[in-house]
Amino acid sequence: MATLTKLTSKDLEKLQAEHPDYHMELVDGNITIMSPSGYESDEVATEVAAQLRNWVKPRKLGRVTGSSAGFE
């Protein structure tokens, strides 16, 4: 029986450095290679982010980023 080791953010950073053309996510210790999003979904995401930023910024509630920003 094989034991799987949960991967860490350092493992993800190493893989991203070795494969810069791939978009990867780390979820529950597993790295997933993400497929590119389509034009329409990016357009919707941009509109949502713009509306959210327009509401958040004047109220000084925090920051709004795109989906490619790293989170830990």
Domain annotation covers residue 36:
yes
In a domain, 54, yes or no: yes
pLDDT at 38: 86
- Give the range of the structural domain holding residue 28, as residue numbers without chain letter: 9-59
Domain-embedded: residue 2: no
Residue 4 placed within a domain: no
What was the pLDDT predicted at 72? 62
Question: What domain count does the chain have?
Answer: 1
Inside any domain, residue 39: yes
Neighbour tally for 49: CB within 10 Å: 14
In this prediction, residue 30 carries a pLDDT of: 93
Quick one: pLDDT at residue 68? Answer: 77
pLDDT tens per residue across all 72 residues of the chain = 666 789 999 999 999 999 998 989 999 999 999 888 788 988 999 999 999 999 999 999 999 998 777 766
Quick one: how far is CA 4 from the chain centroid?
A: 24
State the pLDDT at residue 40: 93
Residue 69 lies in a domain: no
Let me know if residue 66 belongs to a domain: no
Length of the chain: 72
Residue with tokens 């950073």: 13
